[in-house]
Structure 1
Amino acid sequence: MTTSRRRFLKLSAGGIVGLSVGGVSLRAFAAEHVDPENPQAKALQYVHKSAKEGQNCANCILLQGNAGEAWRPCGVFPGKLVNAEGWCAAWAKKPG
């Protein structure tokens, strides 16, 4: 009987930790947009609308999230969302 009780407690503790971590990752998707006036954004020349033909966040390898969404997470700006039509100096063409 103690083996079952121990297993239950371990699974319960794991579930609580999993829900906590899951809550943190869900909050990341509710992040705010990158402010072009932010010092890091300024240093990387980030803009919400790219002026460079064929270069925007949507076709950058650093952009994360689901294709087609207007605002998505970027590896360069943790916890922030960038405009898929935006651009910054860290832009690197997505393969393919």
Structure 2
Amino acid sequence: MQSPPRRHFICQLLAVGGMGATALAGAQTSAPKVDEDSDQAKALGYRHDTTKVDGKKYPQHVPAQRCDNCSFFQGKKGDPWAGCAMFGRKQIAAPGWCVAWAKAPA
């Protein structure tokens, strides 16, 4: 019985490696979104929509303050969801808000 050529083995190895890289890239883009009802979100007063923040509970809130103009927002301009330094590996909504909001440098 003859063993398969080395070239066949290398092609299979590259194909499997490519599938692993694709799966890893997909895992990075599908980070979970912050749940507004989680303890961490409640502690920070996080809301997915800045217009739904309780102004009585958070008098420092200004409607123009949004996650996408905060220094902790880790996305690019126009990203609807992105990472946040306050929430670790979870994603926040661009129009969201929390008490940690800090104006992004110009």
Report the TM-score, using the length of structure 1 for normalisation: 0.70
> Which residue number corresponds to residue 105 of structure 2?
95
Letter paired with 1:67: K
Match of 2:89 among 79, 82, 85: 79
> Which residue number corresponds to residue 33 of structure 2?
33
Shift of 1:79: 1.3
Distance (whole Å) between structure 2 residues aligned to residue 79 and residue 59 of structure 1:
19
Contiguous gaps of at least 5 residues in structure 2: 1-16, 52-61
> Root-mean-square deviation (CA), in Å?
2.0
SS of alignment partner, residue 27 of structure 2 = helix
Query: For 1:56-77, what per-residue CA distance to the aligned partner results, in whole angstroms no more than 9, with x for missing partners?
Result: 0010000002220111111111
Query: For 1:20-42, what per-residue CA distance to the aligned partner results, in whole angstroms no more than 9, with x for missing partners?
Result: 8xx3x752321111001000000
The 8 Å contact of residues 28 and 79 in structure 1, kept in 2 or not, is answered as no
The 8 Å contact of residues 48 and 85 in structure 1, kept in 2 or not, is answered as yes
Identity of aligned residues (%): 39
Report the TM-score, using the length of structure 2 for normalisation: 0.64
Query: For 1:31-55, what per-residue CA distance to the aligned partner results, in whole angstroms no more than 9, with x for missing partners?
Result: 1110010000000000000033210
Letter paired with 1:65: G
Distance (whole Å) between structure 1 residues aligned to residue 63 and residue 90 of structure 2:
24
Contiguous gaps of at least 5 residues in structure 1: 1-15
**Max radius of gyration: which structure?**
2
> Which residue number corresponds to residue 69 of structure 1?
79
> Which residue number corresponds to residue 12 of structure 1?
none
> Which residue number corresponds to residue 42 of structure 2?
42
SS of alignment partner, residue 78 of structure 1 = coil
4+ runs deviating over 4 angstroms: none
